[in-house]
Amino acid sequence: MAPIRNYTNWNKRPSDKLAQIEPYRKYVFICEGANTETWYFEHLIDIKKDLNIKPTIFLELWEKTEADRDISYPRKLIEFANEKKCDKTLDFDPDHDKMIIIFDADIYEAKALGYDETVELGEKDNTLGVTNPNFELFLLLHFPDAYETIIKPHAGELLENKKTGNQRYSYSLLLSLTGINSKTNDDIGNLADNVLTAIAEEKHLNQDIHQCLGQLTCNIGSIIEGIIEDRLN
């Protein structure tokens, strides 16, 4: 099995032998996408201190590598995450840590069945971050007044999720706003600097992943807000 590439801004969890007032806990992100999401969450980890996330909280990204890199189907991604939690070398403590699995729902809008079953499976032992149609919707929220000026005027096109040329509408809209190719340029991760804006703007969308299909949906900002406020557990 291919190894996990572990990205964090801490070298390791402090020893359990050390006196601790509060338990150390870790939030681990595993993402469907191999580029855009990875760059975003790496930068989010880098600015952890700027977001006033408590020092007893660790953020990590477990990046798929080698043969596992192309795992994207949500159910397979959940199975992969659950399997990796059992890898003792990755230091995941199920009593304190939380796995956050990020995936898009567009496949279920287009052709796949079993969305409810996938969510039920994933929520047994994890937190699910879902975007409908895709992660670019979350990135579009990082601009001031994004819902009123960007999302709402293009809601139909975003949900329809058709291709413009060889790219989805949300990708093309994001490219027009940033000038950054979100699939090939890691500068797209710098949008995480505006994550507090995204958290606020996301509240205008549906955040209930159980009622996801047929409407623009995103709960990633809500998850990050829960980490910042230390209430996700």
pLDDT confidence of residue 73: 84
pLDDT in tens, 43-94: 999 999 999 999 999 999 998 665 555 566 899 999 999 999 998 888 899 9
Nearest to 31 by CA among 71, 58, 67: 71
Band of pLDDT at residue 8, cut at 50, 70 and 90? confident
Convert 17-51 to b/e letters by CB count within 10 Å (16 or more is b).
Answer: eeeeeeebbbbbbbbbbbbbbbbbbbbbbbebeeb
pLDDT confidence of residue 13: 52
CA–CA separation, 60 and 100 (whole Å): 10
Question: For the CA atoms of the chain, what is the radius of gyration?
Answer: 17
Nearest to 102 by CA among 221, 191, 190: 221
Cα atoms found within 13 Å of the Cα of residue 82, Cβ hemisphere only: 14
| Helical residues (DSSP H) of 3-105, grouped into ranges | 36-46, 74-84
Supply the mean pLDDT for the chain. 89
pTM for the full predicted model? 0.89
CB-based contacts of 88, cutoff 8 Å, min separation 6: none
Lowest mean pLDDT among 9-18, 72-81, 95-104, 193-202: 9-18
CA–CA separation, 154 and 140 (whole Å): 11
DSSP, collapsed to helix, strand or coil, labels residue 164 as strand
Q: What is the mean pLDDT of residues 87-106?
A: 92
153 vs 166: which has the higher pLDDT? 153
